[in-house]
């Protein structure tokens, strides 16, 4: 068993703390959901370190305003916004088709949480699984060549302590049989995001592409609009800058060179747990299991093919 990775950073560290002294000049980064919350702070820190940053957003006007705000703050115009709706596979395909440069950093950050009623995409996929995982899976696979062209690329999956609510239920991904439960659906999608990092590393590390997943912590953002806000103790709450710290660490820190397939929280690799802890820390064994990761990749690949046919025939 590989030794757990620790860093000089911790719970209270900010994204700016983590990026201090790191030069990303000449690097390109894509951040999904980068117009608000921890995505915005992640983009701000990477851009301040010299990276060219593209915000993949559903609402382009909001993304353009966020890009302008970042540019004003750092005194440099190297952040742009492009339309990307992760629940719409056509939108994902358009984004991929429009990308024609090496890509050094892909941060799968956007997400939705605890939709109160069961919603499905055109493909028939449960909406949280479709948005949080399938959209990011299609994006990551679609940008593989751009990541490989960078020669040294990182893919970051923003998971959640919510993954501890549920593993990926392969026999009923989309609640065709189980009664729909908002948090179980969310948990499944976040377990899937963690598994994506495991399999990206296994498949692509030979091409210089490594991936890790993370729990950003408890940050008050629009993500909790269906849950009535944060439910965790106040002393565990983080600011968006603190919440972005682990994302930035995995995206840019030299401390993580050549490291992949792992799950971090509070800027440290999380312990693997086999029973859900009362404090919701650690990563469930099922969310970093290589056989689960390989099965999920195969299942998702099949879903993309079948989904394209179901949603629109010869789209």
Instruction: Write out the catalytic residue numbers.
Output: 186
d(CA 136, CA 32): 9
- Read off the DSSP letter of residue 256: G
Integer Rg of the chain from CA: 18
Using alpha carbons, select from 84, 103, 100 the residue that is nearest to residue 92.
Answer: 84
CB 287 within 8 A of CB 161: no
d(CA 104, CA 89): 23
Three-state DSSP at 199 gives: helix
Name every residue whose Cβ is closer than 8 Å to that of residue 100 and which is 6 or more positions away in sequence. 146
d(CA 15, CA 114): 27
d(CA 149, CA 131): 27
CB 240 within 8 A of CB 41: yes
d(CA 86, CA 210): 22
* Two tokens, residue 122: 């055109």
d(CA 132, CA 134): 6
* Two tokens, residue 290: 């290589």
Q: Give me the helices (H) in the chain, please.
A: 15-19, 37-48, 60-74, 89-97, 127-128, 135-142, 144-150, 182-204, 240-243, 245-252, 290-312
d(CA 216, CA 240): 9
């Amino acid at each position: 068993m590989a030794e757990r990775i620790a860093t000089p950073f911790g719970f209270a560290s900010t994204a700016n703390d983590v990026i201090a002294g790191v030069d990303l000049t000449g690097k390109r980064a894509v951040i999904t959901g980068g117009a608000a919350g921890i995505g915005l702070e992640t983009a701000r820190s990477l851009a301040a370190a010299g990276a060219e940053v593209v915000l993949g957003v559903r609402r382009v006007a909001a993304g353009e305003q966020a890009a302008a705000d970042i540019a004003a703050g750092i005194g440099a115009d190297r952040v742009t916004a492009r339309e990307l709706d992760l629940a719409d596979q056509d939108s994902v395909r358009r984004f991929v088709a429009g990308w024609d440069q090496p890509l050094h950093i892909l941060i799968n950050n956007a997400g939705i949480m605890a939709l109160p009623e069961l919603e499905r995409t055109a493909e028939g996929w449960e909406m949280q699984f479709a948005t949080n995982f399938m959209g990011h899976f299609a994006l990551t696979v679609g940008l593989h060549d751009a990541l490989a062209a960078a020669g040294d690329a990182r893919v970051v999956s923003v998971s959640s302590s919510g993954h501890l609510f549920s593993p990926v239920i392969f026999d009923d991904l989309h609640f065709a049989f189980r009664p729909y439960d908002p948090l179980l659906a969310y948990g499944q999608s976040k377990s899937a995001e963690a598994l994506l990092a495991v399999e990206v590393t296994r498949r692509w590390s030979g091409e210089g592409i490594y991936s890790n997943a993370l729990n950003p912590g408890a940050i008050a953002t629009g993500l909790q609009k269906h849950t009535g806000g944060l439910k965790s103790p106040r002393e565990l709450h983080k600011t968006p800058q603190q919440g972005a710290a682990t994302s930035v660490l995995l995206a840019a820190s030299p401390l993580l060179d050549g490291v992949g397939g792992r799950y971090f929280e509070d800027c440290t690799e999380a312990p693997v747990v086999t029973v859900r802890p009362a404090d919701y820390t650690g990563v469930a064994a099922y969310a970093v299991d290589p056989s689960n990761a390989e099965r999920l990749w195969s299942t998702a690949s099949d879903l993309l093919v079948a989904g394209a046919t179901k949603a629109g025939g010869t789209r």
